Amino acid sequence: MNLLIEHVSKRYTADVWGLRDFSISLAPGVIGLLGPNGAGKSTLMRILATISKPTEGTVTWDGTDIVRSPDSLRRELGYLPQDFGVYPNLTPVEFLGYIAAAKGLDAPAARRRIDELLLLVNLDSERTQRLGGFSGGMRQRVGIAQALLNDPRLLIVDEPTAGLDPEERVRFRNLLSDLSGERVVILSTHIVSDVEAVATDIAVIVRGRMVAHELPETILAGVRGRVWEWVVPSSDLVAVRSRFLVSGTLRRSDGVLCRIISTGPPDPGAQSADPSLEDAYLSLVTGARKEGAS
Ligand SMILES: Nc1ncnc2c1ncn2[C@@H]1O[C@H](COP(=O)(O)OP(=O)(O)OP(=O)(O)O)[C@@H](O)[C@H]1O
Ligand SMILES: [Mg+2]
């Protein structure tokens, strides 16, 4: 099972690029696609879901070109778009039944699968309520269920944790880990902690370009020795931010504890700290932006 993306670009208008010469090869596992707003995550996912076409480059799924022959991938695809909408007057059972029919599942198998999925996403007791009255998190769970109807080998979920409360986030992460195995799962987000727990590898995308595709521990190792903690008076915070890359702050009784990413100590009083994935991500994104600007 392999999804191969080679030199893919998407140019929306003369000067707006969604993706630029993007290449990656994906095997079974959970790939965390991290990038700031406008980085190109949804652009990539729409291309992989065969909703939009690249302007350049090729994508193949187990050797078949998905632009020229999208049908074989579509049968094996589950996709939760970022702007997933539901029909407010339908119940989860009706909605999922409708999607199952559109995907060509036969009715008895679809009914069984819908029952399983409603249990999996914890919506069994709401199965006959109308979607219009559902919270954002409940709708998102319906979205996950529809993406899983055909037991996809390629599952693409675009910012699935947006709008979920902390408890639901955790549940969702567990659900994704349970689902992984013999499938390629691509999960996009700009929240590092969402992928930290579940991703087997992480791809960072900035301004349409791939900045890193590594194991989480390799990404972490990239900032080792460059993360510092330094307590500064709160009145100095603005100045510190303008001089250094600050990845976090914590107010304390003796001032503000700043986490700073810098090749050397920002101050003789600063202490070296263990890097987090958040530090590594911030460092990659800032580095890529600087390179893009110069
Ligand atoms: N349909 C479109 N027409 C024109 N430009 C677009 C279109 N869709 C996206 N873009 C542009 O392409 C770039 C990448 O957008 P994309 O939506 O892929 O980013 P993203 O990483 O998903 O961002 P977010 O985190 O905000 O969802 C942005 O500059 C965006 O403005
Ligand atoms: Mg997006």
d(CA 64, CA 70): 9
Task: Supply the pLDDT for residue 285.
Answer: 95
Task: Supply the pLDDT for residue 196.
Answer: 87
Given a cut of 90, whether residue 233 has pLDDT beyond it is: yes
Confidence of residue 86 (pLDDT cuts 50, 70, 90): confident
Query: Domain-by-domain residue ranges, the chain?
Result: 3-220, 225-274
Given a cut of 90, whether residue 39 has pLDDT beyond it is: yes
Nearest atom in ligand 1 to the alpha carbon of residue 45 is 18
Task: Supply the pLDDT for residue 71.
Answer: 92
Rounded to an integer, the average pLDDT of 139-162 is 92
Which residues place a Cβ less than 5 A from the ion ligand 2?
41-42, 82
Which residue's CA is the closest to the ligand 1 atom numbered 17?
A: 42
d(CA 35, CA 12): 19
Compute the distance from residue 134 Cα to the ligand 2 centre, in Å.
23
Q: Which two tokens stand for residue 229?
A: 């903690």
Compute the distance from residue 153 Cα to the ligand 2 centre, in Å.
22
> How do residues 256-294 score in pLDDT, each as one tens digit?
999 999 999 999 999 999 999 999 999 999 999 888 877
Compute the distance from residue 22 Cα to the ligand 1 centre, in Å.
15
Ligand nearest to the CA of 203: 1
Outline where the chain has alpha helix (H): 41-48, 71-75, 92-102, 107-120, 136-148, 166-179, 192-196, 216-221, 237-243, 277-293
Instruction: Pick the closest to residue 142 from 188, 183, 100 (CA basis).
Output: 100
Total-model pTM: 0.93
Given a cut of 80, whether residue 182 has pLDDT beyond it is: yes
CA distances from 253 to 151, 171, 270, 280 (A): 53, 35, 17, 28
Which residue's CA is the closest to the ligand 1 atom numbered 18?
A: 40
Confidence of residue 165 (pLDDT cuts 50, 70, 90): confident
CATH number of 3-220: 3.40.50.300
- For 148-176, letters b (16+ CB in 10 Å) and e give bbbebbbbbbbbbbeebeeebbebbbebb
Task: Supply the pLDDT for residue 221.
Answer: 94
Nearest atom in ligand 1 to the alpha carbon of residue 13 is 4
Given a cut of 90, whether residue 169 has pLDDT beyond it is: no
Rounded to an integer, the average pLDDT of 43-63 is 97
Best of 10, 12, 55, 189 to mutate for ligand 1, by most ligand atoms within 8 A of CB? 12
- With a CB cutoff of 8 Å and minimum separation 6, the contacts of 10 are 17, 18, 19, 40, 43, 47, 52, 54, 55, 208
- With a CB cutoff of 8 Å and minimum separation 6, the contacts of 118 are 92, 93, 96, 124, 127, 145
